[in-house]
Amino acid sequence: MSDNNSSEELETWISNFCGLYGHDYFVEVAPEFIEDDFNLTGLSSIVPFYREALDMILDFEPDKPISVSDLPLVQHSAELLYGLIHSRFILTKQGLQQMVDKYDKKQFGVCPRVYCESMPFLPIGRHDQPGVETVRLYCPSCFDLYLPNSSRYLNIDGAFFGTTFPGLFIKIFSEIDQQIKLRNKKQYELKIFGFKINEESQFGSRMKWLRKLPKTEKEFEELNNCQYEIPLDDEEDIEDEDENIDDDQEEDDDDVEMK
């Protein structure tokens, strides 16, 4: 593992960290970004051994030597601190640029869904607090989340990428819209000997909505009605059927009406 003698080896702590096995999702954070205290606001309260960890990341000689027993802890803190800085850095212009390079090289992998046609993934954390969940991958084509396909990414904290990154990324790089449009909008339907399975049957399709996109004019109109909430004319539908549904369902409807 990296030590503070990296000044002799010419390899910085950061480049060493990013080169470690399974760390290929990380980009190298610019030292200037880390040196600016403003960018580190609030981190000192989350990370133990904050000062020592920061010195380690920046390859500074610590003020007082770190005792051998503390070294693993500082090492761990440095990784945590680097990860949290990383999640902030990738939202900056420079960071996004570095991430787009990785995205173009498909270094985060590609979506396994057949009709996404190898759409490159973007890394995401579902929580911004460290220690909650490991990193997940977002596919901009099917708007869905996937697990990394290799177990070597299963110890990387999702907070090191953060909840905001993919959203910001797709907003800023509008070329992605183009990439999505080129992709097949087909949906798979299970068939038996070429026959469709009736929706009413016990085995009928239930998940078509998940990948469905508006196509007809009527559907686009419907989409426009979804501007701020799910259109309420639906409520009438539910009321209509209410008569022949069990009590549970009726209670549900009361809730809707109250809202």
Partner 1 sequence: MSKEEEYTSDSGSDFTEFWIDWFLGTKGNEYFVDIDVEYITDKFNLTGLYQEVEKIPQVIDVITDGLKIEELTDEEREILEFNARLLYGLIHSRYIITARGLTKMLEKYKNADFGYCSRVFCQLQHLLPVGLSDTTGVSAVKLYCPKCEDLYNPKSSRHSLIDGAFFGTSFPGMFLQAFPHLVPQHSTERYVPKIFGFNLHDYSKIARWQELQRIKLETSLINKGINTRNVPNGFKINNEENEIDDEIDGN
Contact 139, 146 (CB under 8 A): yes
Question: Helix 50-57 vs helix 71-89: angle between axes, to the nearest 10 degrees?
Answer: 70
From the list 8-16, 46-54, 96-104, 205-213, the region that binds partner 1 by CB under 8 A is 205-213
Contact 34, 40 (CB under 8 A): yes
User: Please, which of residues 120-139 interact with partner 1 by CB under 8 A?
Assistant: 126, 136, 138
Q: Give the whole-angstrom CA distance, residue 18 versus residue 191.
A: 47
Q: Give the whole-angstrom CA distance, residue 122 versus residue 61.
A: 36
With CB under 8 A as the contact rule, the residue among 22, 146, 173, 180 that binds partner 1 is 146
106 binds partner 1 (CB under 8 A): no
| 3-state SS assignment for residue 202 | coil
5 vs 151, beta carbon nearer partner 1: 151
Place of tokens 């498909």: 106
User: Please, which of residues 156-185 interact with partner 1 by CB under 8 A?
Assistant: 163-164, 166-168, 170-171
Please report how close the Cβ of residue 61 comes to partner 1 at its closest, in angstroms: 37
Place of tokens 């989409």: 223
149 binds partner 1 (CB under 8 A): yes
48 vs 112, beta carbon nearer partner 1: 112
Please report how close the Cβ of residue 124 comes to partner 1 at its closest, in angstroms: 8
Question: What does the CA dihedral 31, 32, 33, 34 come to, rounded to 10 degrees?
Answer: 50
Q: Which token pair is 217?
A: 């004019």
64 vs 171, beta carbon nearer partner 1: 171
Count the residues in the chain.
259
Q: Which token pair is 80?
A: 């945590």
193 binds partner 1 (CB under 8 A): yes
114 binds partner 1 (CB under 8 A): yes
With CB under 8 A as the contact rule, the residue among 12, 44, 179, 205 that binds partner 1 is 205
Q: Give the whole-angstrom CA distance, residue 90 versus residue 97.
A: 8
212 binds partner 1 (CB under 8 A): yes
Site string for partner 1, 218-257 (x = CB under 8 A): -x--xx--xx-xxx--x--xx--x--xx--xx-xx-xxx-
1 binds partner 1 (CB under 8 A): no
Sign of the dihedral defined by the CA atoms of residues 152, 158, 164, 167, in that order: positive
H or E segment and range at residue 252: helix 247-258
Chain residues in the site for partner 1 (CB under 8 A): 112-115, 126, 136, 138, 143-147, 149, 163-164, 166-168, 170-171, 188, 190-194, 197, 199-200, 202-214, 219, 222-223, 226-227, 229-231, 234, 237-238, 241, 244-245, 248-249, 251-252, 254-256, 259
